[in-house]
Protein backbone atom coordinates (compact mmCIF):
# COMPACT_ATOMS: atom_id res chain seq x y z
CA UNK A 1 0.00 0.00 0.00
CA UNK A 2 2.90 2.38 0.67
CA UNK A 3 4.20 1.88 -2.87
CA UNK A 4 0.83 2.88 -4.34
CA UNK A 5 0.67 5.96 -2.09
CA UNK A 6 4.17 6.99 -3.14
CA UNK A 7 3.31 6.58 -6.81
CA UNK A 8 0.16 8.68 -6.52
CA UNK A 9 2.08 11.35 -4.63
CA UNK A 10 4.72 11.47 -7.36
CA UNK A 11 2.02 11.75 -10.02
CA UNK A 12 0.28 14.58 -8.16
CA UNK A 13 3.52 16.48 -7.61
CA UNK A 14 4.55 15.99 -11.24
CA UNK A 15 1.15 17.07 -12.52
CA UNK A 16 1.20 20.14 -10.27
CA UNK A 17 4.67 21.13 -11.46
CA UNK A 18 3.68 20.55 -15.08
CA UNK A 19 0.54 22.67 -14.77
CA UNK A 20 2.52 25.41 -13.02
CA UNK A 21 5.08 25.39 -15.82
CA UNK A 22 2.34 25.52 -18.46
CA UNK A 23 0.72 28.49 -16.71
CA UNK A 24 4.06 30.29 -16.49
CA UNK A 25 4.83 29.59 -20.14
CA UNK A 26 1.36 30.80 -21.18
CA UNK A 27 1.89 34.04 -19.26
CA UNK A 28 5.46 34.67 -20.41
CA UNK A 29 5.79 33.35 -23.96
CA UNK A 30 4.27 34.37 -27.28
CA UNK A 31 2.00 31.73 -28.81
CA UNK A 32 4.52 30.04 -31.17
CA UNK A 33 7.09 29.66 -28.38
CA UNK A 34 4.39 28.46 -25.99
CA UNK A 35 3.40 25.71 -28.44
CA UNK A 36 7.05 24.62 -28.86
CA UNK A 37 7.70 24.68 -25.11
CA UNK A 38 4.45 22.90 -24.23
CA UNK A 39 5.23 20.23 -26.84
CA UNK A 40 8.68 19.65 -25.32
CA UNK A 41 7.15 19.51 -21.85
CA UNK A 42 4.60 16.96 -23.07
CA UNK A 43 7.34 14.86 -24.68
CA UNK A 44 9.36 14.97 -21.46
CA UNK A 45 6.32 13.89 -19.43
CA UNK A 46 5.71 11.01 -21.85
CA UNK A 47 9.34 9.85 -21.65
CA UNK A 48 9.26 9.96 -17.86
CA UNK A 49 6.11 7.83 -17.85
CA UNK A 50 7.27 5.05 -20.15
CA UNK A 51 9.63 2.22 -19.27
CA UNK A 52 12.29 2.88 -21.90
CA UNK A 53 15.71 3.75 -20.46
CA UNK A 54 17.59 6.93 -21.40
CA UNK A 55 15.01 8.56 -23.65
CA UNK A 56 14.35 11.84 -21.81
CA UNK A 57 15.50 15.11 -23.34
CA UNK A 58 18.21 15.50 -20.69
CA UNK A 59 19.63 12.03 -21.24
CA UNK A 60 19.66 12.53 -25.00
CA UNK A 61 21.52 15.83 -24.67
CA UNK A 62 23.96 14.33 -22.13
CA UNK A 63 24.95 11.80 -24.79
CA UNK A 64 25.80 14.63 -27.18
CA UNK A 65 27.28 17.00 -24.58
CA UNK A 66 30.51 15.05 -24.49
CA UNK A 67 31.42 17.10 -27.55
CA UNK A 68 32.64 20.59 -26.59
CA UNK A 69 30.67 22.37 -29.33
CA UNK A 70 27.28 21.76 -27.67
CA UNK A 71 27.72 24.25 -24.78
CA UNK A 72 28.96 26.80 -27.31
CA UNK A 73 25.82 26.29 -29.41
CA UNK A 74 23.59 26.80 -26.35
CA UNK A 75 25.35 30.08 -25.61
CA UNK A 76 25.18 31.19 -29.24
CA UNK A 77 21.47 30.39 -29.45
CA UNK A 78 20.81 32.25 -26.18
CA UNK A 79 22.61 35.34 -27.46
CA UNK A 80 20.74 35.14 -30.76
CA UNK A 81 17.39 35.03 -28.94
CA UNK A 82 18.29 38.22 -27.08
CA UNK A 83 19.86 40.10 -29.99
CA UNK A 84 17.05 39.26 -32.42
CA UNK A 85 14.48 40.61 -29.98
CA UNK A 86 12.78 37.22 -29.61
CA UNK A 87 13.41 37.56 -25.89
CA UNK A 88 12.64 41.23 -25.10
CA UNK A 89 14.80 43.09 -22.62
CA UNK A 90 12.10 43.77 -20.04
CA UNK A 91 11.00 41.97 -16.87
CA UNK A 92 9.09 39.34 -18.82
CA UNK A 93 12.09 38.69 -21.06
CA UNK A 94 14.43 38.44 -18.10
CA UNK A 95 12.16 35.86 -16.46
CA UNK A 96 12.05 33.81 -19.67
CA UNK A 97 15.83 34.02 -19.99
CA UNK A 98 16.35 33.06 -16.33
CA UNK A 99 14.11 29.99 -16.65
CA UNK A 100 15.78 29.07 -19.94
CA UNK A 101 19.24 29.27 -18.37
CA UNK A 102 18.15 27.24 -15.32
CA UNK A 103 16.70 24.53 -17.54
CA UNK A 104 19.73 24.29 -19.80
CA UNK A 105 22.28 24.60 -17.00
CA UNK A 106 22.34 20.95 -16.06
CA UNK A 107 23.39 19.97 -19.58
CA UNK A 108 26.87 21.36 -18.95
CA UNK A 109 27.65 19.08 -16.03
CA UNK A 110 28.61 15.59 -17.17
CA UNK A 111 26.43 12.76 -15.97
CA UNK A 112 28.17 10.32 -13.67
CA UNK A 113 28.40 6.97 -15.39
Which stretches does DSSP call E strand in 44-91?
none
> How many percent of the chain have pLDDT more than 90?
1
Residue 81: exposure state from Cβ atoms within 10 A (0-12, 13-18, ≥19)? middle
Q: What is the pLDDT of residue 34?
A: 87
Residue 70, pLDDT > 80, answer no
Provide the residue ranges of all domains of the chain, joining segments of one domain with +: 2-108
Residue bearing the bigger pLDDT, 110 or 14? 14
Supply the DSSP string of 25-36, one letter for each residue: HHHHS-HHHHHH
19 neighbors 26 (Cβ within 8 angstroms): no
At 111, the pLDDT band (50, 70, 90 cuts) reads low
* pTM, rounded to two decimals: 0.63
> How many percent of the chain have pLDDT more than 70?
77
Amino acid sequence: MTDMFGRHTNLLIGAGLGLGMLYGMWYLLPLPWFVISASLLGYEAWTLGNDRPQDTISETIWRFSKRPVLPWLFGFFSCWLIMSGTIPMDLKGMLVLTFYMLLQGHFFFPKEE
